[in-house]
Chains A and B, each alone.
Chain A
Amino acid sequence: MPHHLFKCSECIPERKKHAVIKGPGENLTDALPLGYLNTIPGSISERGCAYCGAKHVIGTPMKDVIHISHGPVGCTYDTWQTKRYISDNDNFQLKYTYATDMKEKHIVFGAEKLLKKNIIEAFQAFPDIKRMTIYQTCASALIGDDINAIAQEVMDELPDVDIFVCNSPGFAGPSQSGGHHKINIAWIDQKVGTVEPKITSDYVINYVGEYNIQGDQEVMLDYFKRMGIQVLSTFTGNGSYDDLRAMHRAHLNVLECARSAEYICNELRVRYGIPRLDIDGFGFEPLSTSLRKIGLFFGIEDRAQAIIEEETARWKPELDWYKERLKGKKVCLWPGGSKLWHWANVIHEEMGVEVVSVYTKFGHQGDMEKGIARCEAGALAIDDPNELEGLEAMQMLKPDVIFTGKRPGEVAKKIRVPYLNAHAYHNGPYKGFEGWVRFARDIYNAIYSPIHKLAFIDISKDEIETEKTFVTQKMLSDATLSEEVTASTHLREYTGKYDSVTELSKKTYPDFPSPKQAAAV
C-alpha cells in the first residue's frame, strides 16, 4: 500500500493510513486511504460537525422554512450565510437564522419551555412562513430535551404549521457527513409521503443532492424544463418543504451529490421502487451524457440531444479558449466531498489541468474510490487532512491553484498559492455548459492574476522591473502560446453576463403534448 506519512504528522503515526500516492499501474485495491473515521486526537481537522452537516449542507437550503437551532447561539452563527445556496424567494433562508440561545441555566434546568417560546415567536415574526425545521445540537441532546414532543405540542396548537425535527447533534458522527446521513433518514421517515403532489408531466423526477450554489439548481432546472420534465422536488437547493414531502411520487431520482444524499435515494428505491440514476452536472461531456441518460429513461432523448448541441455550439469555443491557457497547470483538488470525484477527471480532460492531489475533508472511502479512480497516476490522496499537511503538500507539489474551502484557501494565499472556493464558488454557477466556462474563467483569473504575481516580489530586496508599467492576464497567459492559438477567430473568452441565473426565471418553456393524452384522443 503506497501510504504517505507527512513529516509534520510523524508525531501522529496513525495519520499514515489516511494518505496515499497513486503510483503508476496501481488501482483501487492497491491505493485507498482510510476514511470516515473519528479524527485522530492531535490532528487539527478541517471538518465540521454532524449538526453542521445536517443543518448547513442539507437542511437550510430549503427555502420556505424557519430553520431554528435548539442550542447555543454560536452553533447557529457558525452555520449561517457561509454557503451561497440561493433561492428564488428572495433568499429567505439565507437572510434569517434562528437560535433558542441556550445558556448554562438551561443546561441545568432544561430548555423545553425556552424552545416552545422560541418556536411560537418565530412563527409570529414571520406569519407567511408555515414550515419549520428544528435542529438539535450537542447541548440540547446531552440534556435530553424532547424536541419531538414540543414540536407536536406546537403543531396541535397551530394546525396550519408543520415542523420537522432533525436529531443530529454535533457529536453524532465523525464529521458533517454523519449529519447528512441522519437528516436524509429523518426526512424520509418523518415527511416523505405526507403530501400528494399535482403531477403535470409524464416525466417526473426528484433532483437529489443539489444545493443551488449560486444558482446551480436553476441552471439544471432550465435544461429539465426544456425537456418537458417535471421536477417534483429538489433535495434541497431552492427546494420547497412541501414539495419534498412528495418525493415518493417521482418516476426517477436523479442524484448529483451521492455523498450527501444517496441515503434518501437508496431508501426511496427500497420503499417506493424509484430507481436511482447517478449523474455529473459538471463538464461538457459528463453533463451531456447525464442529460442523455435522463432523456433515454423517458424516451425523449431527442430533446436532450437538441439541448446538448445548442449549448455545446454556444459555449465550447469559450471553454477551449481557456483550455489552451490552462494546459499543464497543476491543481490540488481539495473540496469537502463530492467535487473530489465530480471534477477529478473532467477538469483534466476539458481544461487540460493536471490534478496533482485530491483530498476530502469529510468523505467516505467510497468517495475516495471514485476520486482515485478518476485522477491520474502520481496524485496524492488525503483523507481528513490538517492544516500543516495541507501546507506541506503545497510546498511539495507546488500547485498553480487549489480548489478548496475558504479556511484552507486563506492558508494557501499566505504561501502565495491562489485558491478558488470549491464549496460556494467564486463567480458561479459552475454547473451547466455556461457554468463550466465560468469555472474555467475563474481558474484562469486565479492563475494569471498580475496582482498574484506581484505577491512574490519582496520590495525590500528584489529588483523591480521598470520596463513594464503594467501587466495583463493575457500578457502572462499568452506569452508562450502559438500564433495559431492567439490569433484564432474560433476561440473566444467568456462572453456571458455577470449574472447568468436571474433571467432563467423569466423564460417560457415549450408545452410538449403528453403521449398519454394523445393516445387517449
Chain B
Amino acid sequence: MDDVMKDRVEQLVDYIMKKCLWQFHSRAWDRERQNEEILTKTMQLLCGEPVETATPADRCYWVDAVCMSEAFKERYPWLNTMDKEDIKSLMRGLKERIDYLTITGSLNKELHDTLY
C-alpha cells in the first residue's frame, strides 16, 4: 500500500474511532463479525453494488454502513475521485487496520472470555 493510500486509510480509521461504536463489541468473535459485515456493506455501498438487507441482522449492519458511507463521501472528497477497484483496495486496507486495532493488536484482555 502506498503512502497516499495509507494516509487515506488512517483518515477513515480516525472517523470510525471517533464517531462509531459498532467496532467495539465486547468479544473477539463479535468484533470479527461486526467488522466483516459492516465494512463489506460499506464497500458495496461506496461501489454502487447491491447490498443484502433481507434479515433483521443484515438491516442492522446496513444502517451503520449507510451512515458511514455517506459520512465518508461528505468528509473525504478524494473518495469521489476513486474508481471501484481503488475503493475496494482502500476498504480492504481499512478492514485490515480495524481488525488489527480492535482484535489482533488489541490490548483488551476480555476479548476472548467465552461468556458474555
Chain A residues closer than 8 Å to B30, beta-carbon distance: 266
Digitize B64-108: 1 where CB-to-A-CB distance is under 8 Å, 0 elsewhere.
101100000000000000000000000000000000111001111
Among A285, A294, A366, contact of B110 (Cβ-Cβ < 8 Å): A366
Report the minimal beta-carbon distance from A204 to chain B, rounded to whole angstroms.
11
Chain B residues in 8 Å Cβ range of A36: 110
In the complex where A277-B60, A365-B108 touch, is A262 in contact with B101 (Cβ < 8 A)? Answer: no
Interface size class of B (residues with CB under 8 A): 20 to 34
Number of A-B contacts (CB under 8 A): 93
Q: Which of A29, A262, A277, A364 contacts B63 (CB 8 A)?
A: A277
Whether B110 contacts A28 by the Cβ 8 Å rule is no
Task: Using CB atoms, name the residue of chain A closest to B13.
Answer: A27
Please tell me if the beta carbons of A374 and B110 are within 8 angstroms of each other in the complex.
no
A162 at the interface (CB under 8 A from B): no
Smallest Cβ distance from A12 to chain B, in angstroms?
20
Closest to A266 in B: B116
Q: A364-B110, A369-B106 are in contact. Are A296 and B63 (CB under 8 A)?
A: yes
Least Cβ–Cβ distance between A91 and chain B, in angstroms? 31
Given known A-B contacts A28-B101, A28-B107, A266-B116, A278 and B26 have beta carbons under 8 A apart: no
**Contact between A297 and B63 (Cβ–Cβ < 8 Å)?**
yes
| A373 adjacent to chain B (CB < 8 Å) | yes
- B110–A297 touching, CB < 8 Å: no
Residues from chain B with Cβ under 8 Å of A364 in the complex: 26, 108, 110
A262 CA / B30 CA spacing, docked (Å): 12
**What are the residues of chain B within 8 A of A32 when measuring CB–CB?**
106-108
CA distance A345 to B101 in the complex (A): 19
The answer to whether A2 has its CB under 8 Å from any CB of chain B is: no
Could you say which residues of chain B place their CB within 8 Å of the CB of A280? 21
Determine if B56 is an interface residue (Cβ-Cβ < 8 Å).
Answer: yes
Q: CA of A62 to CA of B57 in the docked complex: distance in angstroms?
A: 29
State the CA gap A263–B101 with chains docked (Å).
23
Contacting residue for A262 out of B22, B26, B105, B108, CB 8 A: B26
Residues of B within 8 A of A263 (CB): 116
**What is the bound-complex CA distance between A278 and B109, given in angstroms?**
22
CB distance from A411 to the nearest CB of B (A): 30
Report yes or no: B67 in contact with A29, Cβ–Cβ below 8 A: no
Separation of A258 and B22 alpha carbons in the complex (Å) = 11
Contact A365 B66, beta carbon cutoff 8 Å: no
Given contacts A251-B56, A258-B21, A297-B63, contact A266 B26 (CB under 8 A): yes
Please list the residues of chain A having a beta carbon within 8 angstroms of any beta carbon in chain B. Answer: 27-29, 32, 34, 36, 185, 251-252, 258, 262-263, 266-267, 273-280, 285-286, 289, 292-294, 296-297, 341, 345, 364-366, 369-370, 373-374
Contact sample, A vs B, 18 pairs, CB 8 Å cutoff: A28-B105, A29-B100, A29-B105, A251-B56, A266-B26, A266-B116, A275-B56, A275-B57, A276-B60, A279-B21, A296-B59, A297-B59, A297-B63, A341-B21, A364-B108, A365-B110, A373-B18, A374-B17
- A-B contacts besides A185-B116, A262-B25, A364-B108, 10 pairs, CB < 8 Å: A29-B101, A32-B108, A34-B109, A267-B116, A274-B56, A275-B56, A275-B60, A277-B63, A278-B21, A374-B18
